[in-house]
Amino acid sequence: MLALLLTLSTLAAPSGDDLHDFCGTFRAQSAEYLSRPQISPGSGDKEIVSWFEVGPSQLTSEHFVLHWGPDVDFDEERGQFILDELEAAWTVYVDEFGHVEADYAATTYLNAYIAGSYAGSPEAHPGGTAYHQLDPDNRSYLVFNAERLGGDTSWVRYVSAHEMYHAMQYASDTWMQFPEDVWWLEATAQSMSIRVLDDETWPITRIHALAFYPHLSVNAAESLDYDVTRSMHRYAMYLLVEEIIDEVGPEGIVETFLVPNDDFMGQLRTSLADEGADLDRVWADTMMRLPTWDFDNGEAYAEFMAGHADDPEAAHQFAIEIPPAGSTGLAAAPAETLPEAYGVNFLHWADPEPGTYALQIQFAAAGSQETTEFGTVGRLVQRLEDGSVTYQDLDLDLTTNEIAIGTDVEEAWVMVGVTGEMGNPYRAPVEVFSYDWVAFRTAELPGSEARACGCAASGGAGLGWMLGFLPLILARRRA
């Protein structure tokens, strides 16, 4: 397999204020490979084939060999723990979910190294705890930073499960990685490692990258910088993967790495369609839950996000603030948060006045790079006084959507999204789609009392000019 873009993942141990800095992707690693691999016998029928100097100390398991040396604080007990966790991940990925073993796995070990522990060992990624890479023979190897991992055995488990999944992604020799696909490697590694660890909340420490930058495309990618929240967006997209798994199971994810194709999104569409689901709708239904964290693990997500409420990036979370009594004229959406393809804006209604409103979303005929073939998606999200959340589909192709805000609505959001072809996220500028909006109040609800807001509102006579639209309200309460 020719790896068009080698993906490496680094995980930094959780401690103190940088708890969220556990994982990242960078696009290139300057590896000091030998001119030819070193080959030495292992146990049984397997050989050790290493493009780095083999370690002075080695420990083997059924599928792995771990190399280390005397230049860092590391011992055999810690090495055995790493091997045990890698083998546990292997068992789940191969035996339970159907990933294939790499062709070389029958005769050679998969190498793992303790970074910088001896002369000729691979270097650590700055600030990270582990990464995956392919050697010149396109064989996976893993590198662990023992100094960053310290004695935190739980974090060794996280690191091992995540990085081992990258090895599985390349094992089938069919994955042809393009820049626009990097997000899928990281998002699926997050989700699939959950199933190894039996811990549904461990990856949450990057969900703020998606919450604060929902307007970015699902495949948004840029050079990793732990101080730049948006650069971790692709890891937070595991929330979408989780919703896809609900429809097709983990095996549906595995299939995207087994069938040769250059359009895994098209394959996902087919797999979901076979289950009676639609990929665009699954994506939209995932995104619409971000404002309220109405997920199965929503309480944990909300608690984590509360710790980031004062982050400067939080200003991007909601693109527009709707006045309590609506607005009175079309206004342009802010340029800095215009949605990309498979990105959304949230129009936030912090304290909406009860009544009926005429919502208009008018997209420009073409995107910023003149794309005219794109779709739109809309939702009205309402959080009620009893804590439940309701969803209403909005057809943004209509001139006007009529929406009703009841007296029991505490907060609301209008989600405005775009579907269409995603480009190369590393090639700036990425295309965005502009629109104008208005949420015009047409009538108060009978018996409701207007809240003092100083905003203009119209009476019921405004209903005459609206296009009729009967919304379907989808209400549900997640446990």
d(CA 227, CA 348): 27
- Structure-model confidence comparison of residues 349 and 102, the more confident one: 349
Res 129: pLDDT: 85
Q: Looking at 55-64, 112-121, 384-393, 443-452, which range is the least confident one?
A: 443-452
Residue 182 has pLDDT above 90, yes or no: no
Which SS3 state, helix, strand or coil, does residue 2 take? coil
Q: State pTM to two decimals.
A: 0.86
Q: What's the whole-number mean pLDDT along residues 393-413?
A: 96
Between 258 and 382, the higher pLDDT residue:
382
Mode of pairing for the β-strands spanning 64-68 and 110-114: parallel
CATH 2.60.120.380 fits 318-476, yes or no: yes
Residue 436: which pLDDT band, with cuts at 50, 70 and 90?
very high
* Contact criterion met (CB below 8 Å) for 170 and 140: yes
> Domain boundaries in the chain?
8-200+237-277, 318-476
- The percentage of the chain sitting over the pLDDT mark of 90, rounded to a whole number, equals 67
In 3D, which of 177, 69, 64 has the Cα closest to residue 118? 69
The per-residue pLDDT for 423 is 79
Identity (one letter) of the amino acid at 291?
P
State pLDDT tens for residues 142-163: 999 988 777 777 888 999 999 9
In DSSP terms, which residues pair with 357 in a beta bridge? Answer: 403, 441
Bigger pLDDT: 26 vs 317: 317
Q: What is the pLDDT of residues 208-260, one digit of tens each?
A: 999 999 999 999 988 777 778 998 999 999 999 999 999 999 999 998 888 77
User: Would you state the structure tokens that stand for residue 97, as one six-digit string?
Assistant: 């979910």
- When pLDDT is cut at 50, 70 and 90, the band that residue 261 belongs to is low
- Can you give the pLDDT at residue 31? 66
pLDDT of 264 strictly over 90: no
| CA R_g for the chain | 25
For 300-313, what is the mean pLDDT?
94
pLDDT recorded at residue 24: 34
The overall average pLDDT reported for the chain is 85
Of 16, 22, 13, nearest to 203 by C-alpha is 22
Q: Mind listing the pLDDT tens digit for each residue in 442-472? A: 988 665 554 434 333 333 333 333 333 333 3
More confident residue, 124 or 452: 124
- Per-residue pLDDT, averaged over 182-192, amounts to 93
Task: Report residue 178: phi and psi, to 5°.
Answer: -115, 160
What's residue 1's pLDDT?
33
Q: Note whether 49 and 39 are within 8 A (CB).
A: yes
Q: How confident is residue 426, by pLDDT bands cut at 50, 70 and 90?
A: confident
Least confident of 216-220, 224-228, 394-398, 431-435: 224-228
Query: Nearest Cα to 114, choosing from 139, 149, 90?
Result: 149
Query: Is residue 19 very low, low, confident or very high in pLDDT (cuts 50, 70, 90)?
Result: very low
In this predicted structure, which of 13-27, 90-104, 122-136, 427-441 has the lowest mean pLDDT? 13-27
| pLDDT tens per residue across span 326-362 | 999 999 999 999 999 999 999 999 999 999 999 999 9
